[in-house]
Structure 1
Amino acid sequence: MKKVAIYRNQLFKLSETFIVNQALAIKDFDVEFMGREAVNPVPSTSLRVSTSSTGHVSKIYQALTMSPRALLRTTKENPPDIVHAHFSVDGLYALRYAKKLGIPLFTTLHGYDVTTSRNNLLLSKSPSWVNYALFQKQLKHGGQLFLCVSDYIRQKAIEAKYPESKTLTHRIGIDTDVFRAIHNNKTERIILHVGRLVEKKGTEILIDAISMIKHRLNGYQLHIIGDGPLRNFLDAKIRILGLSEHIKILGELPHHCVIDKLKGSSIVVVPSVQAKSGDCEGLPTIIMEAAAFSLPVIGTYHSGIPEAIIDEKTGYLVKERDVVSLAHRIAHLIESESLQATLGAAGRKLMETEFNLKTQTARLEKMYEAFL
């Protein structure tokens, strides 16, 4: 059986379960994860993993030089037939490995990697981001195929001078057999928001919206799952606005805990915005997970989000940073559990037809085969 290497510099981040889920859905190829280091435990005993870092010094050396030598040594006895990197920054590192082996490189583009400005990449102080800012032309020329998680991200990739002939939209999708609503599972009145606490997630805007309708919440609470550089600022904002009884920041949680919380929630809100750096979302996985559980989702007209939420049919869409409209839509859903059920059911149907992980992964495998 042919073998595909799933490449990420830092493997198994808690916010990137979509990478593992896609890999586990691959049926006709052996799969091995490869990268510089695993930053969390391997999420499944069935996964094979090869990392190139043997210590702090080697990790820094590889980050600075993009050298594939350590990974080539690690995989010498059983090299892959194709490499599939996630995020263009990582694709640049995987390119040298793939070139040494003379095998194709696929790269999935997720969002920030084609929307963050070159200046912000250079000022990031991250060796991998700086390398990408300086040498991205190598990836654009040398990569065989660039898979974009939404039509919006494909357009942004083309604007960033990725060859149009090498780019196509390919949604990762969601396993609609695993993510299925359980009747009468709502144990609390929860409005859920999940994401790293950074500007593009729009968390501050959501807090302002809750402040506007705090007297209409009717027992609902906003639970925020995530952590990040804005954590202290957002904690302070909640205290200052007197919202501590209405909003709880739960921090970063393992994916199974996120799913448990999602199952018991009533509404999911994804108020994403374009950050000052230009950073945008691709297509947040939480939208697909929530819709698969038949939950209504409120999102923004941002990046690929309108491709997964049909306004007034599966959920609601509002303009970026429109606090008043966001507050109005949340209040509207709070006041009608029957509307929650109607929108949620339509969202579930959309996931089954357009965002089915098994169907999307089967298409991916056919693309692998075409290049081999």
Structure 2
Amino acid sequence: MKAKMMRKKILVIAPDFKPILGGVSEYAWQFSKGFSDCEAEVKVVTQNHEASKDFDNQSDLEIIRTKFIARTGAKLTFLNRLKKLFSLISLALLAKKEHAIFHPDIVFLPSMYPFAFFLKFKNSKIITTFHGGELLVHTKSSKFSFINKWILRGSCKNSDFIFANSRYTKDQLGEYVSGKSKILVTRCGVDWNRFRKLPDIDKLRDKYNLQEKKIIFSLGRLDERKGFDTVLKCLPEIIKKVPNILYLVGGVGPMKNRLEEIIKKNVLQNHVRLLGKLSDTEVYEYMNICDVFAMPNRETANGSVEGFGIVFLEANCCCKPVVAGNSGGVVDAVIDEQTGYLVNPYESKPTTEALIKLLSNTNLTLRMGHAGRERIEKEFTWSKITQKTYKKLCELNMS
């Protein structure tokens, strides 16, 4: 007999939440909003932020924040690590208090899996989310990896269900979860309303003075995992085939100086612009201006890996083909040779060849871009993903 869609009370405990930028905060926000749209009663407990007040005033969700303001993006000095720890302890105490008041059916942890280990939530089912990257970083690179593995196993054991953002993440969890039946692959999505309207590209190119340019766009934190240095190293060969190429890079991060060194060494100043931090409007515009989106992501020595790659879906949503690294959970975000190319990210040649192929063939870029957009509309809008997930939760034994 088919289970009824029962109204659930869901307490979301999210260290990373809007207005903080990033994939994890977007994931937490979209699932919270999506569950609420499915008529669940949702309460969010999260950290404070400088811009929280304006954001919360515009949201229909009930959002409870810690008094302590979390500083995001700060260099991890000893003092900042202590501040981060204090912020997380404050969040845990607030979560326990709100749980006792709210009496939720479900406690949803969009990140920070150790909360499932350290905090006990009586009479509630616990759903813990894994995004892929934390599994390798916490268990491979740290000198305390044996402690991290112990906490990870305990967190999985204490969780009634586990959300994995890709098949890759689910496979990585196999070592820590007895019985994969409690793991649900809940992929990330795209805010369709944000990207559905395609703008006048010529007007945008006039605005940024980019007419007559072939444009590669990259977006993300400037760190080793993203592979932006690989694209820069490809440019000398690309320029020979596509002399009017311009590479635009949006984002900030620790690798900025290294990228600037590569630009200077290869005399690429006329072909590269590091755009810095971009607003949502600028992201939308640059995504639509570009011919190809590129991020040949890779696993780093310390185990950092791309767990899924929402940014590839956003590019596809704007009818842009993508060039992505065949690493981590990105294989769920990109269909090779249909919505873009999955390349070996540890060598520059495959990335060079994929980019030249796309930049030299307008029909190919249009075909792949439109295939990507159709796929997003059918499978990857946040509303479809959250509705499907909520229905699944109601069908499972959540009583």
Do the structures match in fold with TM over 0.5? yes
- The Cα offsets for residues 173-215 of structure 1, whole Å up to 9 and x where unpaired, read as 2244542252642524421111111221111111111233223
1:162 and 1:37 map into 2 onto residues whose CA distance is 36
Task: Give the number of equivalent residue pairs.
Answer: 363
1:317, CA displacement in angstroms? 1.8
Question: Which amino acid is 2:21 matched to?
Answer: L
Does residue 260 of the first structure (1) align with residue 260 of the second (2)? no
Q: 1:238 to 1:162 in 2, by over 3 A?
A: farther
Please, what is the CA RMSD of the aligned residues?
A: 2.8
Q: In the alignment, which residue of structure 2 is the partner of 1:164?
A: 180
Q: In the alignment, which residue of structure 2 is the partner of 1:52?
A: 66
1:306, CA displacement in angstroms? 2.4
Question: Which amino acid is 1:368 matched to?
Answer: L
1:367 and 1:92 map into 2 onto residues whose CA distance is 25
More deviation, 277-286/151-160: 151-160
Does residue 140 of the first structure (1) align with residue 162 of the second (2)? no
Does residue 35 of the first structure (1) align with residue 46 of the second (2)? yes
Q: In the alignment, which residue of structure 2 is the partner of 1:182?
A: 198
Question: Which amino acid is 2:133 matched to?
Answer: Y
Q: In the alignment, which residue of structure 1 is the partner of 2:30?
A: 21
2:392 and 2:49 map into 1 onto residues whose CA distance is 27
1:77, CA displacement in angstroms? 3.9
Question: Which amino acid is 1:115 matched to?
Answer: L
The answer to whether the 8 Å contact 1:151/1:169 transfers is: yes
- The Cα offsets for residues 248-307 of structure 1, whole Å up to 9 and x where unpaired, read as 112222334322321222210120111111221111111111111211111121122222
The answer to whether the 8 Å contact 2:163/2:183 transfers is: yes
1:2 and 1:70 map into 2 onto residues whose CA distance is 21
Instruction: Give the 5 Å matches for 1:297-308.
Output: 297-308=322-333
- The Cα offsets for residues 218-254 of structure 1, whole Å up to 9 and x where unpaired, read as 4231111111221221122212221122111122223
1:160, CA displacement in angstroms? 4.4
1:122, CA displacement in angstroms? 4.5
Return the match for 1:2 from 4, 8, 32: 8
Return the match for 1:91 from 107, 113, 125: 113
Question: Which amino acid is 1:35 matched to?
Answer: T
Question: Which amino acid is 1:92 matched to?
Answer: P
Q: 1:159 to 1:203 in 2, by over 3 A?
A: farther
Q: 1:131 to 1:321 in 2, by over 3 A?
A: same
Question: Which amino acid is 1:255 matched to?
Answer: D
Q: 1:347 to 1:62 in 2, by over 3 A?
A: closer
1:79 and 1:304 map into 2 onto residues whose CA distance is 35
Return the match for 2:238 from 185, 188, 213: 213
SS in 2 for 1:102: coil
The answer to whether the 8 Å contact 1:175/1:357 transfers is: yes
Does residue 345 of the first structure (1) align with residue 370 of the second (2)? yes
2:302 and 2:51 map into 1 onto residues whose CA distance is 28
The answer to whether the 8 Å contact 1:53/1:59 transfers is: no
- The TM-score with structure 1 as length reference comes to 0.87
More deviation, 107-116/175-184: 175-184
More deviation, 103-112/44-53: 44-53
1:355, CA displacement in angstroms? 2.0
Q: How many percent of aligned residue pairs carry the same amino acid?
A: 21
Does residue 202 of the first structure (1) align with residue 208 of the second (2)? no
- The TM-score with structure 2 as length reference comes to 0.81
Question: Which amino acid is 2:252 matched to?
Answer: D
SS in 2 for 1:113: helix
Does residue 103 of the first structure (1) align with residue 124 of the second (2)? yes
1:337, CA displacement in angstroms? 1.9
Question: Which amino acid is 2:266 matched to?
Answer: L
Q: In the alignment, which residue of structure 2 is the partner of 1:126?
A: none
Q: 1:84 to 1:286 in 2, by over 3 A?
A: same
Unmatched 5+ stretches in structure 1: 124-128
Unmatched 5+ stretches in structure 2: 1-6, 71-81
1:119 and 1:296 map into 2 onto residues whose CA distance is 33
Q: In the alignment, which residue of structure 1 is the partner of 2:361?
A: 336
Q: In the alignment, which residue of structure 1 is the partner of 2:137?
A: 116
The answer to whether the 8 Å contact 1:50/1:75 transfers is: no
Instruction: Give the 5 Å matches for 1:234-273.
Output: 234-273=259-298
The answer to whether the 8 Å contact 1:149/1:172 transfers is: yes
The answer to whether the 8 Å contact 1:107/1:143 transfers is: yes
